[in-house]
Amino acid sequence: MITIIKKYSPVILLLFLPACSLWNNFTTFFNLYYNTRELYYEVQEDMANLTKDPFQLKEPAATPQIKNKLTKLQEKTSRILQHQSESAFFDDAVFISGWAFYTNGDYLRAIRKFQELLSLGNEDYELLANMYIGKSELQIRNFASGIAILHEVRDSAVAQDNKDILKDVYKTIIGYHIDRQEYDIAVNQAKKLIEISNDNKLNAQVAYRIGLIYLENDNEEEAISAFESVLNYSPDFTTEFESRFEIAKLMKKLGNIEESRSMFNRLYNEGKYSTYWGDVYYELGLIEYEDNNFDKAFDMFSNVNVLYPTSKGAMEAQLMMGEIMRNVYADYDSAKVYYDKVKGSNTTPEIKAKAEQYSQSIMRYISLKENIIKTERQITYKLEPQEFARDSLAYLRFLAKSKDENREDFSPTSFIDTTQLALSDTSGISDTTGIVPSDTLFAQTTYDFSFDDDYVIEQQPVYPQISLDSLESKIATHYFTLGNLFFTDMMRPDSAYFYYNLILENYPNFTHKPRVLFALGTYYETNDQVEKAKELYSIVYDEYKTHPIANEAAKKLSKPLLRTESDPALEDYLLAEELIEISDYDSAIFLLDEIIQKYPESVYKAKSLYTIGWLYENEVGQPDSAISYYQKLLEEYRYSDFALVVIDKVNIFNAEQEKILREKKEAEKLSTQAAPLSDHVDQSDTTNIPGAQIENLEELSEPVDTTRLKE
> Where among 159, 177, 197 does a domain terminate?
197
Phi-psi region of 105 (alpha: psi -120 to 50; beta: other; left: phi over 0): left
Both 156 and 31 in one domain: the answer is: yes
Both 48 and 125 in one domain: the answer is: yes
Both 182 and 296 in one domain: the answer is: no
- pLDDT of the residue at 703: 32
The boundaries of the domain holding residue 336 are: 262-347
Both 1 and 138 in one domain: the answer is: yes
Residue 393 lies in a domain: no
Residue 291 lies in a domain: yes
> Where among 329, 347, 365 does a domain terminate?
347
- Please state the separation of Cα 466 from the chain's center in Å: 39
Q: Are 520 and 501 in contact (CB under 8 A)?
A: yes
Closest by Cα among 508, 530, 510 to 521:
530
Residue 49 lies in a domain: yes
Both 160 and 309 in one domain: the answer is: no
Residue 667, burial from CB neighbour count under 10 angstroms (0-12, 13-18, 19+): exposed
Rounded Cα distance, 605 and 547, in Å: 9
User: Which residue blocks in 141-199 are alpha helix, DSSP H?
Assistant: 143-160, 163-179, 183-196
CB atoms within 10 A of CB 485: 21
Residue 552 lies in a domain: no
Both 63 and 144 in one domain: the answer is: yes
- pLDDT of the residue at 579: 77
Residue 647, burial from CB neighbour count under 10 angstroms (0-12, 13-18, 19+): middle
- pLDDT of the residue at 400: 79
Question: Taking the model in full, what pTM does it have?
Answer: 0.60
Both 274 and 172 in one domain: the answer is: no
Both 172 and 319 in one domain: the answer is: no
> Where among 152, 174, 197 does a domain terminate?
197
* Tally of domains within the chain: 3
Rounded Cα distance, 302 and 296, in Å: 10
Both 171 and 48 in one domain: the answer is: yes
- pLDDT of the residue at 146: 94
Residue 186 lies in a domain: yes
pLDDT along the chain (711 residues), means of 10: 36 38 50 85 88 84 91 88 69 92 93 93 92 94 94 93 92 93 94 91 94 93 95 93 96 93 93 91 94 94 91 90 90 92 84 85 87 91 89 84 56 48 40 40 47 74 89 89 85 90 92 90 93 94 84 90 69 82 79 86 86 91 87 82 84 77 73 48 36 30 30 31
Residue 396 lies in a domain: no
Q: Are 82 and 74 in contact (CB under 8 A)?
A: no
Buried b (16+ CB within 10 A) or exposed e, 283-307: bbbbbbbeeeeeeebbebbebbbee
Both 41 and 156 in one domain: the answer is: yes
Q: What is the CATH number of the domain that holds 302?
A: 1.25.40.10
Residue 156 lies in a domain: yes
- pLDDT of the residue at 86: 59
Q: Are 226 and 243 in contact (CB under 8 A)?
A: no
Both 183 and 283 in one domain: the answer is: no
Residue 556, burial from CB neighbour count under 10 angstroms (0-12, 13-18, 19+): buried
Q: Are 151 and 162 in contact (CB under 8 A)?
A: no
- pLDDT of the residue at 421: 46
Q: What is the DSSP letter of 327?
A: I
Both 300 and 184 in one domain: the answer is: no
Residue 311 lies in a domain: yes
Radius of gyration (C-alpha) of the chain in whole angstroms: 36
